């Protein structure tokens, strides 16, 4: 290259300047004392840790400005450990910097590429080895080897089959059936439609026999939000309106985006907001998505009341609740 001729010359490294400890015995002594002091502080930290572990009770709180009330046991245990480690490290580094030799050393690099002879020999070795295997000539062995290796790969995959059940229609199902009562969560109490005031929101689950254990997998798909508005506030298709009862509308609480609980309801705007990704659903328009990444409204549960006036589901959900999946077949 043209500019290489005119380039500057490498001036070489600047002359090495001695450190204070290299020339002044007093500075050397001082450095030694500093290193020893740091090792000493580390030992103090270890003792503090031991003291805190054994003698500071675990229920003592002390007030520290800025930090507020702190558990003394945890705090001093941690500070002791921090001191013991930190000053050990500082001592070693100070020792290296002030007292150990500080002249830089030069090593040489070599190109990584092997020599041509080595490469040729390598290729020859590999070729000889491959020729010794005789795969080209032994067609029968080649074929059976391929078959056996192919089959050999299957068992490890097969052995993982029992990790879980096949999905089947599992994701389409919830425990809501025609006639299932909506009960409060927590509390498991049926809800009288007449008890719900306008503007109220209730989290509900399908009724189970008293003291029945609800598995988490049910709680992951069954929660339903009940919201009561004034009937004239709705802006619904006749079909969706028929699924409400006297201003009470019910949605799956499981977000149609990624399955978080859609837990935030804003009274004034009548919006439901999912705290995970801020998808916003308009209750007055049957939980239509008005903002955020969710692509579908929250599934609406068809509700009515039974003879005693308790809220029940008129039918199961007519679509899968929760996040989308490949097999999902409904708009």
Instruction: Please give the residues from 244 up to 263 whose contact with other proteins meets the rule CB under 8 A.
Output: 253-254, 257-261, 263
Of 43, 81, 236, 315, the residue at the interface with other proteins (CB under 8 A) is 81
User: Among residues 82 and 123, whose Cβ is nearest to other proteins?
Assistant: 82
Identify which of residues 96 and 141 has a Cβ nearer to other proteins in the complex: 96
Question: What is d(CA 6, CA 135) in angstroms, rounded to the nearest whole number?
Answer: 60
User: Rounded to the nearest whole angstrom, what is the least distance from the CB of residue 139 to other proteins in the complex?
Assistant: 36
Can you tell me the distance from the alpha carbon of 154 to that of 148, in angstroms, rounded to the nearest whole number?
10
If binding means CB under 8 A, how many residues of this protein chain bind other proteins?
97
Q: How far is the CB of 218 from other proteins (least distance, A)?
A: 9
- CA 281 centroid distance within chain: 25
Judge residue 321's burial from the number of C-beta atoms within 10 Å of its C-beta, 0-12 exposed, 13-18 middle, 19 or more buried: buried
- Rounded to 10 deg, the angle between the 25-55 and 72-98 helix axes is 160
The interface with other proteins within residues 161-190 (CB under 8 A) comprises 163-167, 170-171, 185
Query: Could you give the string, one character per residue 100-139, with x where binding to other proteins holds by CB under 8 A and - elsewhere?
Result: xxx-xxxxxx-xx---------------------------
Q: Which residue has the tokens 């109220």?
A: 200
* Contact set for other proteins, span 295-324 (CB under 8 A): 295-296, 322-324
User: Is residue 264 close enough to count as binding other proteins by CB under 8 A?
Assistant: yes
Helix (H, G, I), strand (E, B) or coil at 321: coil
Handedness of CA 193, 199, 200, 206 (dihedral sign): positive
Identify which range of 114-122, 129-137, 159-167, 188-196 contacts other proteins by CB under 8 A. 159-167
Residues 15-74 that bind other proteins (CB under 8 A): 53, 58, 67, 70, 73-74
- d(CA 38, CA 31) in angstroms, rounded, equals 11
């Amino acid at each position: 290259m043209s500019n290489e001729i005119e380039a500057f010359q490498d001036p070489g490294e600047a002359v090495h300047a001695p450190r204070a400890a290299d020339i002044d015995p007093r500075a050397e002594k001082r450095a030694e004392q500093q290193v020893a002091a740091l090792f000493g502080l580390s030992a103090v930290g270890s003792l503090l840790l031991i003291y805190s572990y054994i003698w500071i009770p675990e229920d003592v709180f002390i007030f520290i400005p800025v930090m507020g009330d702190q558990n003394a046991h945890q705090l001093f245990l941690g500070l002791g450990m921090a001191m013991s480690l930190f000053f050990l490290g500082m001592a070693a580094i100070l020792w290296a910097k002030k007292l150990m030799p500080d002249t830089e050393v030069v090593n040489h690099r070599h190109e990584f590429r092997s020599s041509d002879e080595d490469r040729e020999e390598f290729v020859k070795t590999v070729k000889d080895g491959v020729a010794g295997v005789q795969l080209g000539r032994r067609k029968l062995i080649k074929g059976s080897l391929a078959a056996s290796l192919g089959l050999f790969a299957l068992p490890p995959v097969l052995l993982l089959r029992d990790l879980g059940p096949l999905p089947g229609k599992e994701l389409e199902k919830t425990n809501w059936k025609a006639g299932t009562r909506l009960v409060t969560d927590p509390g498991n109490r049926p809800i009288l439609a007449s008890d719900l005031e306008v503007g109220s929101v209730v989290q509900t689950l399908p009724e189970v026999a008293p003291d029945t254990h609800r598995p988490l997998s049910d709680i992951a798909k069954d929660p339903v939000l009940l919201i009561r508005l004034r009937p004239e506030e709705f802006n619904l298709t006749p079909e969706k309106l028929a699924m409400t009862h006297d201003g009470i509308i019910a949605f799956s609480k499981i977000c149609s985006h990624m399955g978080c609980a859609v837990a935030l309801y804003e009274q004034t705007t009548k919006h439901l907001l999912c705290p995970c990704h801020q998808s916003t659903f308009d209750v007055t328009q049957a939980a239509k998505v008005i903002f955020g990444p969710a692509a579908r409204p929250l599934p609406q549960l068809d509700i009515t009341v039974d003879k005693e006036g308790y809220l029940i589901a008129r039918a199961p959900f007519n679509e899968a609740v929760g996040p989308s999946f490949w097999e999902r077949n409904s708009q």
